[in-house]
Amino acid sequence: MSFQKTITLSNGAPLAQIGLGTWLSKEKEVENAVEIAIRNGYRHIDCALIYQNQHEVGAALKKVIPDVVKREEVFITSKLWNHSHHPEDVEKELDQTLAELGLDYLDLYLVHWPVSFPPGQLFTRHAEKQEMVIDDNGPSLVETWKAMIKLPKTGKVKAIGVSNFSIAHIKGIAEATGVWPAANQIERHPLNPQFELLEFCKEHNVHITSYSPLGNNIIGVKKLVDYPEVKAIADRLGCTNAQVLIAWGAYDGCSVIPKSVQEDRIKSNFQQVKLSKEDYDIITALGKDNHLRFNLPFRYCTASDPKWDVNIFDEEDEKNATHQVKIV
């Protein structure tokens, strides 16, 4: 079983350190995966409207609540999609998410990405380019964050946070409103450790949740689980390669949400192991000269100026290029 470690968020809520991710879980698979996870001890489920499978997560929750667990024993996270950044749309999308999940409240609600799409459609692709269109007249992140701040008072969410936000994004919304996010969910693994962002968030009591802790399968790129250094440690500890990477993610106090729909892997991912400092350093060294972000966001432009090409991450540097994104 897992170490059953919980993280205390800034609002005092306990968050189970190891959770189940549901991104890219196919139709008919995620319902089964969530049910298996809950029945095998998971108490942290990560969702998002854009994953388009929350109704299946909700179906699984109905099977296990309250027969297996009480609602208050399961920490449920979901996220506000980019097309609902206008303040008047924030609570509406939250209501949609709650309806899909069949819940009265979320434990944590995040702004999914620091970029605003035109309202109405999940994606709006530019007619002349492959880029996704940013809302020319969209709200700033501060305006969206102010709408998020109001949500806990409704009783529909316990805590609010962000996802894929850089230091500049977080500072911008916090300094403008005085309210710091409870959490920041980011891609984090040995090839994309984001230590500077991690340290900043620790200083300001912003918890980090790591998604894609095992990396992703990109054709032509070696999988993180296939690195010989990972395998050597796994063999010595008598565990799976994935367990080593999950242990690396949890070493710094982050919560980790590996995704799987296979029963054996769901169970084994929850069988935690502990790395020594030496083993942690060996895994960390994998990213020293081999930085890689597996989940690159779309490239963006505006409808009025299709030549204005926006990327919220600077791929030449680990720091996020935020000067192009409207914060205030």
Binding residues for substrate: 112
Give one word for 244, left, alpha or beta, with left for phi > 0 and alpha for psi -120 to 50.
alpha
What distance in Å separates the CA atoms of residue 189 and residue 38, rounded to the nearest whole number? 25
Residue stretches of the annotated binding site: 112
**Cβ-based neighbour number of residue 63 at 10 Å:** 14
Residue 302 bridge partners (DSSP): 134
Backbone angles phi, psi at 206, to 5 degrees: -105, 110
Element (H, E) at 255: strand 255-256
Which DSSP symbol is given to 261? Answer: -
Residue type, 271: Q
Annotated catalytic sites, by residue? 51
What contacts 65, CB < 8 A, 6 or more positions away? 71, 74
Give one word for 73, left, alpha or beta, with left for phi > 0 and alpha for psi -120 to 50.
alpha
